[in-house]
Amino acid sequence: MKVHEIIIISFESLWSHPFRAILAGLGVVFGVGAVIAMLSISEGAKQASLKQIEVLGVNKILLKSEKPETTNSRVYTTIEFGLTKADLEHFNKSFENVNGVLPIRNTHLHIESRREKEKIHLFACGINLLSFTKSRLFQNQGRFFSRIDEERKAPVCIIGKNAARKLYDFDNPIGKKIFLKGNSFEIIGILENPYSYSLSGDYDLNDLIFTTIGTAQAIWRDTIFNGSIFIHTDYDFLYVRVEDEQNIMNTSKRIRKYLKAKHPENDVSIEVPFELLKQQQATQKIFSIVMASIASLSLLIGGIGIMNIMLANIYERMREIGTRRALGATRNNILIQFLSESVLLTSFGGVLGILVGIGLAKLVEVYGNMPTVISWMAVFISLFVSIIIGIIFGTFPAWKAARLHPIEALRHE
């Protein structure tokens, strides 16, 4: 028989028992759907987490001042810790693989949004904040800090786009003044970070107000009052940009060695996005394998269901098999017919399963607020696997049908 004839006969045989065929194919449908949905969710979570790591670039190293625990019971106390101006100067001058450092300082001052009753914090930063954080001026409004602002310690500030909306609704804030603890700052620009990057995971750049490091040090010197504690620290964060990513591990080792010598109190922590990226990729790879393996069990169960239905199908169609053999059909003809029915059934189940999997992934994305990514490679592999399952689990029933003796098959009641 020709290929199209085999397909037509197989389709007619399956259509003669539609309910049974549907039940047999449901295992493959749900199995393929589970694989597609699981891999899509896994890939979406992977890309979302990796984007957070990559947002600053894997060529940067984050240093963070860590406040030591204090047991001082006095009402007022002064704590000195963390990154210093000497550290900043050393990284700029003594590390040949470093081509820039971004200092950031938390002033521990805030203004409350009248509309949302939310605290909007003021941070001080270097004039290279935009390039380091991949931020930009929102709708090109206003300007960013210049070197003159830094040198003259100008009382100016940049406001995040979310903070601007909370404080001024839809009014243009540029040119307006913000008053904090008796000091006024003129808004000269609106900052937007498209990645919603957060400092230390707590402060979204779009929700903050920034002034220059020079301005903050001119107003508050090196000591900032926070509650009942006088905090003496030069910088809360230093972002170190490495020129050659190939040498980032060597640079991070040198920085760790320097911190161990200069900060024996362990009041400075270090994070290397490149290391986090590698760890995250390895973790996500294991997670994807586990998720796919669990979902594949559904396919295995679906394959067993196919075999069970095909064996029952052979038992009911013995007279048909005997008649075909008596009319000249060979064992190979019978084998191919039943095997093609199994493959056709799992192929349809695979196609429907792909649609179900894509639908589930979209539902999770919309109602679960989780990013999902449909991998077309996973789609093709799932369809291929469903066909293979039809071949594997349909071979034994087809072989058993082909081995039936024509006379015994015709005598079957």
* DSSP-assigned letter for residue 234: S
pLDDT at residue 28, as a whole number: 81
Least confident of 48-52, 149-153, 164-168, 339-343: 48-52
* 39/2 Cα distance (integer angstroms): 38
pLDDT at residue 308, as a whole number: 79
Q: pLDDT higher for 220 or 4?
A: 220
Strands 156-160 and 183-192 turn out to be parallel
Q: pLDDT higher for 112 or 98?
A: 98
pLDDT at residue 214, as a whole number: 92
Q: What is the pLDDT of residues 126-153, one digit of tens each?
A: 999 998 888 999 988 899 999 999 999 9
Tell whether the model's pLDDT for residue 349 goes beyond 80.
yes
pLDDT at residue 24, as a whole number: 72
**Please, is 286 exposed, middle or buried when counting C-beta atoms within 10 Å of its C-beta (0-12, 13-18, 19+)?**
exposed
The CA-based angle 169-172-173, given to 5 degrees, is: 85
Tell whether the model's pLDDT for residue 59 goes beyond 60.
yes
Which of 177, 207, 178, 175 shows the shortest CA–CA distance to 191? 207
Tell whether the model's pLDDT for residue 358 goes beyond 80.
yes
pTM (two decimals): 0.62
Tell whether the model's pLDDT for residue 4 goes beyond 70.
no
* 312/321 Cα distance (integer angstroms): 14
pLDDT at residue 70, as a whole number: 58
Contact by Cβ (8 Å): 248, 17: no
Contact by Cβ (8 Å): 353, 382: yes
Tell whether the model's pLDDT for residue 124 goes beyond 70.
yes
Give the residue-averaged pLDDT of 110-117: 74
Backbone φ and ψ of 235, nearest 5° = -140, 145
* 147/153 Cα distance (integer angstroms): 10
Range of 40-54, 61-75, 148-162, 172-186 with top mean pLDDT:
148-162
* 211/188 Cα distance (integer angstroms): 10
* 354/375 Cα distance (integer angstroms): 11
**Please, is 320 exposed, middle or buried when counting C-beta atoms within 10 Å of its C-beta (0-12, 13-18, 19+)?**
middle
| Average pLDDT along the chain | 82
Tell whether the model's pLDDT for residue 54 goes beyond 70.
no
* 312/173 Cα distance (integer angstroms): 76
* 157/71 Cα distance (integer angstroms): 36
Q: At what angle do helices 18-54 and 3-15 cross, to 10 degrees?
A: 110
Tell whether the model's pLDDT for residue 279 goes beyond 70.
no
Q: What is the pLDDT of residues 241-254, one digit of tens each?
A: 888 877 888 888 99
Q: What is the pLDDT of residues 289-307, one digit of tens each?
A: 776 677 667 777 778 877 8
* 399/270 Cα distance (integer angstroms): 65
First to last CA, the chain: 28
Helix (H) or strand (E) holding 78: strand 77-80
Q: At what angle do helices 18-54 and 331-367 cross, to 10 degrees?
A: 50
Tell whether the model's pLDDT for residue 74 goes beyond 60.
no
Backbone φ and ψ of 154, nearest 5° = -70, 140
The SS3 assignment for 275 reads: helix
> For the chain, what are the domain ranges?
3-52+279-411, 60-242
Q: How confident is the model at residue 49 (pLDDT cuts 50, 70, 90)?
A: low
Contact by Cβ (8 Å): 82, 65: yes
The SS3 assignment for 340 reads: helix
Q: How confident is the model at residue 336 (pLDDT cuts 50, 70, 90)?
A: confident
Tell whether the model's pLDDT for residue 71 goes beyond 60.
no
Give the residue-averaged pLDDT of 16-34: 77
pLDDT at residue 121, as a whole number: 92
